Structure 1
């Protein structure tokens, strides 16, 4: 997977989702995303937090690549 898919700025994330990266890291940590399949995590962001599909996938990948650490 290309780095461009998850190497996004905090400003981009705020513009597209209304929340910053650290907010989404906390959401995914609380959801225990590191223990789930990526499609399940994407669906959670879409269904429970109304994140557009592209950004749900981006945030999921960002979270998994960061090992769940706040950025």
Structure 2
């Protein structure tokens, strides 16, 4: 997977999700995303925060690659 897929700007994330990258990192840390399968994390972001699938996948990948 190319880095460009998850290497997005904070401005892009805020525009599409309403939260900053830092806020998503905190949410994913509290959710213990590192201990879960990526599809489970994507589904969590979609169901709990109504994040569009593309952005849920991008945020999840970004978080897990860090």
In which range does the TM-score fall when normalised by the shorter chain? over 0.9
2-structure distance, mates of 1:65, 1:10? 16
Q: Where does 1:1-71 land on structure 2 (aligned, <5 Å)? A: 1-66=1-66
**TM-align CA RMSD:** 0.4
Larger helix share, 1 or 2:
2
The 4+ residue runs of structure 1 with deviation greater than 2 A are: none
Q: How many residues in Structure 1 have an aligned counterpart in Structure 2?
A: 66
Structure 1's unaligned 5+ residue stretches are: 67-71
Cα drift, residue 20 of structure 1: 0.3
- TM-score scaled by structure 2? 0.98
- TM-score scaled by structure 1? 0.91
Which residue number in structure 2 is paired with residue 69 of structure 1?
none
